[in-house]
Structure 1
Amino acid sequence: MSFETTLFPPILNVETALELKASESGAVLNNRKNTWIQLAGHPGAFAPAGPLTIWKKRYNKDNNETKAYELLMKDAARSIVPMFHREVEYNGEYFIEMEDLLRHFTDPSIMDIKLGSRTFLESEVNNPVLRKDLYEKMVSLDPDAPTEEEKENKAVTKLRYMLFREQESSTSDFGFRIEALRMSGETPTTDLKKVKKKDQIEHVLCKFLDSNTGVRKALIKRLEEMQLLFESSAFFKSHEVIGSSILMIYDKEGRTGAWLIDFSKSISLEDGQTITHRNPWTLGNHEDGILFGIDNLLKLFTDLRIESKPSSSQSDRKETTEDTG
């Protein structure tokens, strides 16, 4: 099913909607009753703009995400990201107006999956200074994690700490981690970053699918499409992409969709440089593991054993994963 996105006038309720705070990227969802649910990131980064669009606050000084969306709207991968409309300035602050993905669904089940084998920029970890505060954080999470030398120094570099944090979830081993889950009619579950092992991931995926083989089939097809379009994309060939997610959504009406979201940490590579998005990362090579994560996620969905759940709408199932433009 293809949906037409129309540019609507700016924000409907400016005073209420612009009570926003600086935020990292996250998935903010709104259902047909205009109830907002934020699955990931800091609260307050989004506001409703029009019947089909939302505003996302630009929380850093650069406009990397705006530039990314502008390029993606002309790219082969255009259909696997939300429709971007424009950047808006209001009272000295900047907002991205984009498609409200939840407009396609009624009281949906949603899963936010952060992609990549690392979730930090190279520029964030190139300082070799030993930090006692990060050592203390490491020990509080896992007293056995520090090496003998680190225990003696009682300090670690930021790179060491960030790599440790990635290993605490499925990020390092699988190239993705499940950030949050919301089942239809329920409150969101956000304490999933410790989901690390294959059987733990499979358990969460089974919960999300809720024995719905039709949704599983549609998501496998969508992930295969993402692979192909990602590999043929000029944008992704020339950009390091950190902190992006796949947002998966379905509802009881038989609609299913998945999109790549969050491009605030998309960094353009030097002229002529390309990355595979699959190779292991070493400092300086800019590999992010995005495709490595999509590959593993696709395999997990394909190999997953679930029991079929009868559905009155299953025979008339519709997919919302085609070009949203």
Structure 2
Amino acid sequence: MGVNGQKFGMWNCFRGIHRRKGKKTALDLTAPASDAILKNRKNTWIQLAGHPGGFAPAGPNTIWKKRYTKDNNETQAYEALMEDTAHSIVPLFYREVEYNSEYFIEIEDLLQHFTDPSIMDVKMGIRTFLESEVSNTALRKDLYDKMVALDPAAPTDEERQSQSITKLRYMQFRENESSTAEFGFRIEALRMSGETPSTNLKRVKSKEQIHGILSKFVNNSRVVQQDLVRRLKEVKQHIEDSPFFMSHELIGCSVLVMHDKYDKCGVWVIDFSKTNPIQDGCEISHRLPWQIGNHEDGFLFGLDNLMQFFSDIEIKEELTENIEPSHVIADS
């Protein structure tokens, strides 16, 4: 496995120990003391993800994520995942919390294991909307106007004549504006170590644009590149072997990717608010094209492509001067 592989294996082992301890001490965590802390967004992961004000530091090494929907899908998903074979590829879940008449979930702050990391949030799947969200076939002028504002050339002649489109048409138009439709993922946000986050990336679409961002992200480090590809493969294997993942639609889920100056790397699946069990008993592969009713989401199709993009990054080897043997200092 080599030195770097040993470091990676030890890192996974450390997280496993942390998880077992965390589950025993879940009820001892400290809740935020006031509303002010809910506005404290110093944590870089918090800055990258979700709605403004939707995340807050909580107890030691945990964060709160606000629940925006009436249902508790995300809570149920995390509770199930803590007992699933794929529990190691998601943040540790502690509990659901009611605070000032609002609901939050308390989960592991993944940044606790890193030193000023570079972070990338990748939205997965060939669709990021639920089938129920596009079941209404009514024509809407407001969605037509939104589409024209983004791309005046997008409407068909028929749509121009009616000045309206369905929600499904609009949502698929939006998916085609990014790399979602073609590659099954899109880069939502990026933060390089020591820099401010970049979130205006949703229209990154071409292979060249994606390669450029991923090349920047690995910072010309072959160690980081190889470890991230290895971890992505592990995530894929966990998903394929998971009773939970293979029986749920994975809509709106993200892959969170991190590495720091010590070449410590990590990849996790996050965001389960739109993750629903497949009720009608059909099987999904997470790779097939979507048609209404087949529940396919393209998560693994996107993960396969993301792995390939990372694998294809060309690392520029730095030239080093030859050192005479007499000048080499032996390791102590």
TM-score calculated relative to the size of structure 2: 0.86
Please say if residues 30 and 60 of structure 2, whose CA atoms lie closer than 8 Å, have aligned partners that are also in contact. Answer: no
Aligned equivalent of 1:57:
66
Letter matched to residue 236 of structure 1: F
Matches within 5 A, 1:256-271: 256-270=265-279
Aligned residue in 2 for 1:114: 123
Name the residue aligned to 1:23. none
SS of the residue corresponding to residue 235 of structure 2 reads: helix
- Equivalent positions of 1:171-250 (< 5 A) are 171-250=180-259
Which of the residues 20, 35, 38 maps onto 1:15? 35
Quick one: which of 27, 38, 43 aligns to 1:30? 43
Residue 286 of structure 1 corresponds to 295
Partner of 2:54: 45
Report if the CA contact (8 A) 1:40-1:190 is conserved: no
Task: Give the Cα separation in 1 of the matches to 2:42 and 2:97.
Answer: 20
* Partner SS, residue 234 of structure 1: coil
CA contact (8 A) 1:212 1:308 kept: no
Residue 308 of structure 2 is aligned to residue 299 of structure 1 = yes
Query: 1:26-105 residue pairs with structure 2 within 5 A?
Result: 30=43, 37-105=46-114
Shift of 1:37: 4.7
Rounded to whole Å, the distance in 1 between the matches of 2:120 and 2:266 is 11
**Distance (Å, rounded) in 2 between the aligned partners of 1:113 and 1:59:** 21
Q: Deviations over 1:31-71 (max 9, x none)?
A: 6xxxx751133201111112211111111110000000011
In structure 1, how many angstroms separate the alpha carbons of the residues matched to 2:234 and 2:297? 20
Residue 147 of structure 1: which of 142, 145, 156 is its match?
156
* Counterpart secondary structure, 1:127: coil
Deviates more, 1:39-48 or 1:256-265: 39-48
| SS in structure 2 of the partner of residue 164 of structure 1 | helix
Deviations 1:151-191 (A, max 9, x none): 11011001001000000000000000000100011001111
Secondary structure of 1:38's counterpart equals: helix
Alpha-carbon distance in structure 1 between the residues aligned to 2:217 and 2:133: 34
Structure 1 residue 271, shift from structure 2 partner? 5.1
State the 1:254 CA deviation.
2.2
8 Å contact kept, 1:11–1:17: no
Indicate how the Cα distance of structure 1 residues 260 and 309 shifts in structure 2: closer, same or farther if over 3 A, else same.
farther
Please report the TM-score for the alignment, with normalisation by the length of structure 1: 0.88
Matched, 1:137 2:154: no
Q: Which residue of 2 aligns with 1:316?
A: none
More relative contact order, 1 or 2 (CA 8 Å, 6+ apart): 1
Q: 1:127 to 1:236 in 2, by over 3 A?
A: same
1:10 Cα deviation after fit: 2.6
RMSD: 1.7
Question: Which amino acid counterpart does residue 213 of structure 1 have in structure 2?
Answer: R
Give the Cα–Cα distance (whole angstroms) in 2 for the partners of residues 41 and 90 of structure 1: 19
* Contact preservation (8 Å) 2:29, 2:60: no
Distance 1:123 1:37 in 2: 29
The 3 A distance-change label for structure 1 pair 85 and 140 is: same
* TM-superposed deviation, 1:135: 0.8
State the distance in 2 between where 1:48 and 1:267 align.
27
CA distance in 2, matches of 1:10, 1:200: 43
Q: Who wins on radius of gyration, i.e. which is larger?
A: 2
Corresponding letter in the other structure for 2:238: L
Compared CA separation, residues 29 and 103, structure 1 to 2 (3 A): farther
Q: Distance in 2 between matches of 1:281 and 1:243?
A: 15
Would you say 1:127 and 2:123 are equivalent positions?
A: no
Letter of the structure 2 residue corresponding to residue 9 of structure 1: L
Paired position in structure 1 for 2:176: 167
Distance between the aligned counterparts of 1:29 and 1:237, measured in 2? 36
Q: Which is helix-richer, 1 or 2? A: 2
